[in-house]
Amino acid sequence: MNNFKLTSFLTSNVDLDEKMLNELIANFKIKHFRKGEYLLQQGEVCTNYFFIETGLARLFGINRVGKEHIIQFAPEGWFVSDRESTFFKQPSSYFIQAIEDTKAFLLDEQFILKLSESNPAFVEFNNKLLHNHIRNMTKRVYQLLSATAEERYLAFTKTYPDILLRVPQIMVASYLGITPESLSRVRKDLALKNFKK
């Protein structure tokens, strides 16, 4: 048995025998991206889901004045894609970029659909992924509506302590919806508060 993260992800989430599993893995393309390279560019139609096997990627958009806004980080073991583009066959509004050297499996949407027809476990699997996605996005909306910059930063450090150490602060700020300068000050204030305790 191979040692891919994707393998253990599938075995723990879909009911498959080993033969079927290996057949599957063999069917997926794996692709390497150097730090900075793009998995998806704005304007392209996103035809796959990416499973990050190793490395780290980000999903982000750029507004009229050239400012970047990060919607999602995707470290190893995570899926990333622009589902809107993939499902509705529309040019993507976003970019997906490798933040570190990254190895990713490309899961073709058509292929997944076919699997779903023959294997009900796959329907359930896909459902789980989609609901997980919705859960994360809903929490994110709620946070952005209700929490201050400091609260959002604290939540981030608790939820994604690993990512925090792997990306420049400028990107954490972008994810949180504040400027890097503000984030620097938030961190300073927190450090002070902790010192005083």
Residues contributing to the site for DNA (CB under 7 A): 148-150, 168-170, 177-188
- Work out how close the CB of 136 gets to DNA at its nearest, in angstroms, rounded to a whole number: 21
Please count the CA atoms within 13 angstroms of the CA of 45 that sit on its side-chain side.
Answer: 8
Which one, 90 or 169, has the nearer CB to DNA? 169
- Work out how close the CB of 157 gets to DNA at its nearest, in angstroms, rounded to a whole number: 13
Stretch 86-105 residues interacting with its own copies (CB under 8 A): 87-88, 93
Residue 97: CB atoms within 10 A of its CB come to 21
Which one, 6 or 173, has the nearer CB to DNA? 173
Which DSSP letter does residue 77 get?
Answer: T
Helix (H/G/I), strand (E/B), else coil: 44: coil
Among 3, 63, 110, 194, binds its own copies (CB under 8 A): 63
Among 19, 26, 117, 161, binds its own copies (CB under 8 A): 117
The residue with tokens 């980000």 is 58
182 binds, among DNA, its own copies, none (CB under 5 to 8 A by kind): DNA
Chain-centroid distance, C-alpha 6 = 14
146 binds, among DNA, its own copies, none (CB under 5 to 8 A by kind): its own copies
Which one, 102 or 174, has the nearer CB to its own copies? 174
181 binds, among its own copies, DNA, none (CB under 5 to 8 A by kind): DNA
Helices then strands, each counted (H, E), the chain: 9, 8
- Work out how close the CB of 172 gets to DNA at its nearest, in angstroms, rounded to a whole number: 8
Residue 23: CB atoms within 10 A of its CB come to 11
Over 120-179, what HEC string results? HHHHHHHHHHHHHHHHHHHHHHHHHHHCCHHHHHHHHHHHCHHHHHHCCHHHHHHHHCCC
Token duo for residue 114: 């076919």
Helix (H/G/I), strand (E/B), else coil: 92: coil
Which one, 8 or 127, has the nearer CB to its own copies? 127
Token duo for residue 174: 């972008």
Written as one letter, the residue type at 162 is: D
Residues in touch with its own copies (CB under 8 A): 61, 63, 67, 69-71, 83-84, 87-88, 93, 116-117, 120, 123, 126-128, 130-131, 133-135, 137-138, 140-142, 144-146, 174, 177
